[in-house]
Amino acid sequence: MSRLIDRLDAQIAQAEEVFERECLKSRRAAVLARHGQFAEARFALAGLRSQSQRLRNPVLSAWVAFVDGLIEHCESLAPGARAKFQRAYDLASSAGDASLHALCAAWLAMADFNASDVEATVAHAREALRIAPPDSHAARARAALVVASAWRVAGDDARAIPWYKVARQHAATEGDVSLVSVLLHNMAAFQAGRISLEGAFDRADLVDAQRVLMEAESTGNYDAGVGNAQLLAEVPLLRAQLMTVLGQYDGAIALFDAQLPRARAEGQVHREARFLADAAFAEAKLGRLDEVVKRLRAINAVLPLMTEHDDVAATHARLAVATRVLGRDDQADAHAALAASALEKHRAEQRRWAEALAAVDFS
């Protein structure tokens, strides 16, 4: 973060016009939000909002809405951030600020992606790449990351990798270590998710799982090194899922229990059932049946909150094993059927993403 912040600080000090200075301060606040420095970002946002009300400039108003949405998104993946990105997008578009317009389009694509809106994700990512000026590295990096993530969801790593490279090149040019961290998180999350899903159906490559576990640990070390403070529960939970696949059950359970409260605060309530199901499976493998029963009770409240077919498939596959260990064969059969059905839906969703993404190129 320091290189980018230092550059912005120097530009702010040199700016002669109030409007230019406030736009630079907005960029700085956005960097703070993406790096997890939320108290500082909110303090900066309060000053920006005051100046925006005084200057009544649509571009500055767009920046205020954008930074506001960014804080919500980065702190807790709040769905309400999308409306703020949309307002920023509308204002920047109307004002003719191509760079900010592209940046808002890229973040709208990210919000669309998180909501599994295939068509909107592709439309906004393409728009961001089309209208971003060549030096709009933040917009181009973010849009490329969304496309890479979407190809990963589609199950096509070969198509994702070139987009990750584009995103990393723009992030490096910008001097944005926060985005490099996001890239590492993103790659680790999709690999861990794939292996965890395969593991739930007894199809995981354990050598691959061990490799990805090491990569996830490296990602955590990178975060610590650069002081990244957003979504702190994500990497430990990825590690816990991979440890479950590898049969490291005690370690996995300890990580799940330690990180779930933080994960809830960071907006991962919709994935809680998946994590609890892995923990219940691990308890079952260790023969701790009383603990399995307790986990199953906790899962019932959060099962309906799942939003992704792969999470549903893996969760029910794990629950099938856990309930069968308890001698609840009817429940186990029902979970197994739900797992198989969700896996088919996940495969269909992957095909849908792949078909839509075929229209996105690097221009």
Collect all residues with Cβ–Cβ distance below 8 Å to 16 and sequence separation of at least 6. Answer: none
Alpha-carbon gap, residue 66 to 84, rounded angstroms: 6
Q: What is the pTM of this model?
A: 0.89
* pLDDT of 89 higher than 70: yes
Q: Coil, strand, or helix at residue 203? A: coil
pLDDT average, residue stretch 156-182: 90
**Residue 363: its pLDDT value, please?**
63
Q: What is the DSSP string of 77-110?
A: --TTHHHHHHHHHHHHHHHT-HHHHHHHHHHHHH
Which pLDDT belongs to residue 151? 97
Lowest mean pLDDT: which of 189-193, 205-209, 348-352?
189-193
Stretch among 31-45, 166-180, 290-304 having the lowest mean pLDDT = 166-180
| Measured distance CA(34)–CA(38) in Å, rounded | 9
Residue 36 has pLDDT above 90, yes or no: no
Q: Determine contact, residues 246/272, Cβ cutoff 8 Å.
A: no
DSSP 9-32: HHHHHH--SHHHHHHHHHHHHHHH
Residue 358 DSSP label: T
Q: Tell which wins on pLDDT, 234 or 21.
A: 21
Q: What is the DSSP annotation of 257-304? A: HHHHHHHHHTT-GGGHHHHHHHHHHHHHHTT-HHHHHHHHHHHHHHGG
Least confident of 58-62, 304-308, 359-363: 359-363
Rounded Cα gap, residues 248 and 86, in angstroms? 44
Q: How is residue 225 written in tokens?
A: 């090194």
pLDDT in tens, 277-332: 999 999 999 999 999 999 999 999 999 999 999 999 999 999 999 999 999 999 99
Q: What pLDDT, on a 0 to 100 scale, did the predictor assign at position 253?
A: 98
132 versus 75: the higher-pLDDT residue is 132
* Residue 231 in this model has a pLDDT that exceeds 80: no
